[in-house]
Amino acid sequence: MKKYLMFFGRECPHCKAMMPIVDKLEKETGISIERLEVWHDEKNADLMRSYRPILAPKCGGQLRVPTFFNTETNDAVCGEVEYEKLKEWGTK
Amino acid sequence: MRKFWRCYVCNDIHYGIKPPDVCPTCKVKNAYVLISTHEAKTICGASAEAGFGKDDFLTAIQEFSKNNEFMVNPDPAKVGLLLEGIFNNEHNHGLKYCPCRLMAKDFDEDLKIVCPCNFLIHETYKGVDKGECWCGLFIKRPKTSEVIP
């Protein structure tokens, strides 16, 4: 089943800036994006680390937040991006 | 492999593949001797200042930026949030890890995300006109003709 994840950090300004954009995307497209905080929740951090071989090559060789990840297609977008770019990821 | 070295004159500690030819503190030549990690940790731990808070860190990175091509982001809200994350990470995870990345749980890899990191190679900084490090704590210093908002 297609699952949309957003890995984020509580004290990451880019993640904070992306939140209203994520809300807008959910509202406009009807998709649901699961928000997973990674610095204060070890389970979420381990989950993100488990995707490292897929995510790191797409994010400068590292695990970075915010990262948007589609678990079915392995499509990932990282960093603070424009709404249109996030929409493209969320509607593939 | 990096090791610890101690100046036999002034007890400066150096961590590196080889020691400096001249001690940067007391200026004595060929003064460094290889020491154990235990000795280095004991010396550094004992002489470390009690309490190195967010203000101390901010002053340190401002000082560090002074003679470089970058500066600390002038946005106080952004810097405040990042400092909170950096200090939470040090408290919870041991070092001042970048709040906008995640530890891989590989020590050498994770050293690359300790703030300040080597952000000059980040794709958000290198070759970018108004470049910044991944988290935005450091920004490229504007040219003198530009005004920071």
Please give the model's pTM, rounded to 2 decimal places: 0.88
Q: Number of A to B CB contacts under 8 A, please give it.
A: 69
pLDDT at B148 over 60: no
Q: In chain B, which residues have their Cβ closer than 8 Å to the Cβ of A69?
A: none
CB–CB of A38 and B102 under 8 A?
A: yes
B93 φ, ψ (degrees, to nearest 5): -125, 0
- Chain-wide mean pLDDT for chain B? 92
Residues 6+ apart with CB under 8 A from A5: A33, A34, A36, A68, A69, A70, A71
For residue A85, give the amino acid letter: K
pLDDT band at B139 (very low <50, low <70, confident <90, very high): very high
Question: Which residues of A have a CB under 8 Å from any CB of B?
Answer: 7, 9-16, 38-40, 45, 48-49, 52, 60, 62-65, 79
Which of these, A10, A39, A28, lies nearest to B97 by C-alpha position? A39
CB–CB of A65 and B112 under 8 A?
A: no
**B85 vs A12, A48, A60: nearest CB:** A12
Residue-wise pLDDT tens digits, B84-104: 999 999 999 999 999 999 999
The pLDDT score that the predictor gives to residue B50 is 62
Q: Which residue has the tokens 């071989």?
A: A53
Is the CA virtual torsion A81, A86, A87, A92 positive or negative? positive
Q: What would the mean pLDDT of B47-65 be, rounded to a whole number? A: 86
Residue of A nearest to B121 (CA): A60
Q: In chain B, which residues have their Cβ closer than 8 Å to the Cβ of A79?
A: 124, 134
ipTM confidence score: 0.94
Residue-wise pLDDT tens digits, B13-37: 999 999 999 999 999 999 999 999 9
CB–CB of A9 and B100 under 8 A?
A: yes
